[in-house]
Chains A and B, each alone.
Chain A
Amino acid sequence: MKHVKTLTGAVLNNSLKKGGCGECQTSCQSACKTSCTVGNQTCENSN
């Protein structure tokens, strides 16, 4: 497309289908301890 470059598509809709396994890291265990930071966590469900 000429007027738009898509950085990422509809990832949230898709994640509704397979999400929720809970194997990912708890956000507060990564670094923060004083602020909730979820968007930078990585999904561990490769299926």
Chain B
Amino acid sequence: MIHQYKMKDMNIVLDINSGAVHIVDNMLYDIIEKLEIGQSLLEISQSMANVYIEEDIDEAFEEVNKLIQEKQLFTSNRYHSVVDTFKQRETVVKALCLHIAHDCNLSCGYCFAEEGEYHGDRSMMSLEVGREAVDFLLNNSGSRKNLEIDFFGGEPLMNFDVVKGIVEYAKNKEAEYHKNFRFTITTNGVLLTDEIIHFINENMYNVVLSIDGRKEVHDLMRPTPNGKGSYDLILPKLLQVAESRNQKNYYVRGTFTHNNLDFANDVLHLADLGFKQISVEPVVAPDNRAYALKEEDLPTLFEQYDYLAEKMLHYREEGKEFNFFHFMIDLKQGPCVSKRMTGCGAGSEYLAVTPEGDLYPCHQFVGIEDKKMGSVYGGLKRMDIQAEFKACNLFSKEACTSCWAKFYCGGGCNANAYNFFGDIHQVYPMACELEKKRVECAIYLKARETFRI
């Protein structure tokens, strides 16, 4: 399978099954396009005779043949054969999303957690439940060394003493169990203090700080409960966190909606404020919400990604380089095929824990009673749910099988698929279209960076 596209003056060819990426001239671009639809070398040669000289065409054919011999072009899909063994694989739990607080001090309009409550009542995780969760992870992680705990909410800083207690408890167990805990926290920043920032910097591998971009955009969707915007309240604290972490191992993370289709300006606003690690992502919302992204928004959003990619090149030239999470791509030391086939690992390697200790496939399934898998006290009970998620992979999703972007995306978000279609084996088309565009931009930027062109 081949995917080829032009971006600015660059011709990019992806060989999907091998992962190879080539930048080619116009002639080779045309030749590959014709080969892909089944034309013979003779047919191609004849059809191009009026445009290119014969020696050049022959030379290009030789280069195509070389790439084919090196298994970097027109490679076949060898991965179907490993799917069956792959489904039988033993999995361990390696990551937990702890819902430290089912409560929040903001009233964000698009919150999938319904202001932190997740279809239930406001509640806080106790230290006892947190410790049980750590023990559950230690006892279910097999020989996996790196274990992850994300402190999530609602707003986890509303229950920060428990966060501290869990970190202390887990760290004390590391040596005994030969494990390495990586803690992360996702916060809206409202309750950040010097003391909390210090603790986070001492203990957290990554911090996700919520901010949507420009003040008017942020304040529209992220008000406090009394209706005032939260931008001015949080911005100085978020800047302090970013600087105190030397602009590494954090993300400012925003959500864009139908209200700010020019979201690239929000990304650039965050960059202009001095943030270097930025993620601004599309809202996921039912179609009947006014702020939901609509299919007719896609051309505008594609233009925005193109615009952002070019602006990032300019910023780099001016020494103001920053990272945009969805344009980051690791082509050389990226994830293995197994990872790309399994995607996020929700429901098998990755689980969410409610304040009461209940286990769900991921944070977005919390509160959906039918997807409750067990408890940190009694362990996993619904092995059928685990089996369902384990069997969910790129080749179990019909839409992914024929998609060129499958190995870059990993099959999309199972929770989105479930929420829109009631089936984790479906895909959410809006997310697919945006993901494909982002991958194209990411590879384009990587090529510009690598070849300095």
Q: Is the CB of B75 within 8 A of A11?
A: no
What residues of chain B lie closer than 8 Å to A43, measured between beta carbons? 330, 333-336, 339
Q: Is the CB of B410 within 8 A of A13?
A: no
A16-B148 CB under 8 A given contacts A6-B72, A41-B339 = no
CB-contacts of A19-47 with B (<8 A): 19-45
Q: Is the CB of B72 within 8 A of A24?
A: no
Q: Is the CB of A38 within 8 A of B331?
A: no
Q: Is the CB of B279 within 8 A of A10?
A: no
20 contacts between A and B (CB under 8 A): A5-B23, A6-B22, A7-B446, A10-B19, A13-B71, A13-B78, A24-B335, A29-B182, A29-B206, A31-B325, A34-B112, A38-B340, A38-B344, A40-B329, A41-B334, A42-B330, A42-B333, A42-B335, A43-B330, A44-B146
Report if B189 contacts A (CB, 8 A): no
What residues of chain B lie closer than 8 Å to A30, measured between beta carbons? 184, 206, 251, 325
Looking at chain B's contact residues, the main secondary structure is: mixed
Complex CA–CA separation, A41 to B22 (angstroms): 21
The 8 closest A-B CB pairs, nearest first, are A19-B336, A38-B410, A12-B19, A20-B338, A39-B408, A15-B336, A10-B18, A26-B95
Smallest CB gap from B13: residue in A: A4
Report if B216 contacts A (CB, 8 A): no
Smallest CB gap from A32: residue in B: B281
Task: Identify which of A1, A11, A36, A42 contacts B344 (C-beta below 8 A).
Answer: A36
In addition to A30-B251, A35-B435, 9 A-B residue pairs with Cβ atoms within 8 Å of each other are A3-B59, A8-B332, A10-B20, A15-B337, A18-B336, A26-B350, A27-B344, A38-B408, A43-B333
Q: Is the CB of A29 within 8 A of B184?
A: yes
Report if B387 contacts A (CB, 8 A): no
Least distance between B137 CB and chain A CB atoms (Å): 12
Least distance between B210 CB and chain A CB atoms (Å): 10
CB-contacts of B337-378 with A (<8 A): 337-340, 343-346, 349-350, 362-364
Task: Identify which of A6, A24, A33, A42 contacts B21 (C-beta below 8 A).
Answer: A6
Smallest CB gap from A8: residue in B: B331
What residues of chain A lie closer than 8 Å to B67, measured between beta carbons? 4, 6
Least distance between A20 CB and chain B CB atoms (Å): 4
Looking at chain A's contact residues, the main secondary structure is: loop
User: How many A residues have CB within 8 A of the partner chain?
Assistant: 43
What residues of chain A lie closer than 8 Å to B124, measured between beta carbons? none
Q: Is the CB of B450 within 8 A of A7?
A: yes
Least distance between B358 CB and chain A CB atoms (Å): 18
User: How many B residues have CB within 8 A of the partner chain?
Assistant: 91
Smallest CB gap from A28: residue in B: B344
Q: Is the CB of B330 within 8 A of A41?
A: yes
Q: Is the CB of B146 within 8 A of A23?
A: yes
Report if B127 contacts A (CB, 8 A): no
Report if B181 contacts A (CB, 8 A): no
Q: Is the CB of B413 within 8 A of A38?
A: no
Q: Is the CB of B97 within 8 A of A28?
A: yes
Complex CA–CA separation, A40 to B92 (angstroms): 23
A11-B19 CB under 8 A given contacts A38-B343, A43-B336 = yes
Encode B151-185 as 1/0 by CB contact (under 8 A) with A.
Answer: 01000000000000000000000000000001010
Least distance between B25 CB and chain A CB atoms (Å): 5
Output the residue of A6, A23, A24, A33 with the most chain B CB within 10 A.
A33
Least distance between A31 CB and chain B CB atoms (Å): 4
Report if B431 contacts A (CB, 8 A): yes
Output the residue of B27, B251, B282, B337 with the most chain A CB within 10 A.
B337
Least distance between A5 CB and chain B CB atoms (Å): 5
A7-B443 CB under 8 A given contacts A22-B92, A29-B148 = yes
Q: Is the CB of A27 within 8 A of B410?
A: yes
Q: Is the CB of A5 within 8 A of B451?
A: yes
Report if B261 contacts A (CB, 8 A): no
Q: Is the CB of A32 within 8 A of B325?
A: yes
Task: Identify which of B59, B184, B284, B339 contacts A19 (C-beta below 8 A).
Answer: B339
Least distance between A45 CB and chain B CB atoms (Å): 7
Task: Identify which of A3, A18, A32, A36 contacts B27 (C-beta below 8 A).
Answer: A3
Q: Is the CB of A3 within 8 A of B63?
A: yes
CB-contacts of B273-314 with A (<8 A): 279, 281-284
Smallest CB gap from B71: residue in A: A10
Least distance between B206 CB and chain A CB atoms (Å): 7
What residues of chain A lie closer than 8 Å to B336, measured between beta carbons? 15-16, 18-21, 43, 45
What residues of chain A lie closer than 8 Å to B21, measured between beta carbons? 6-8
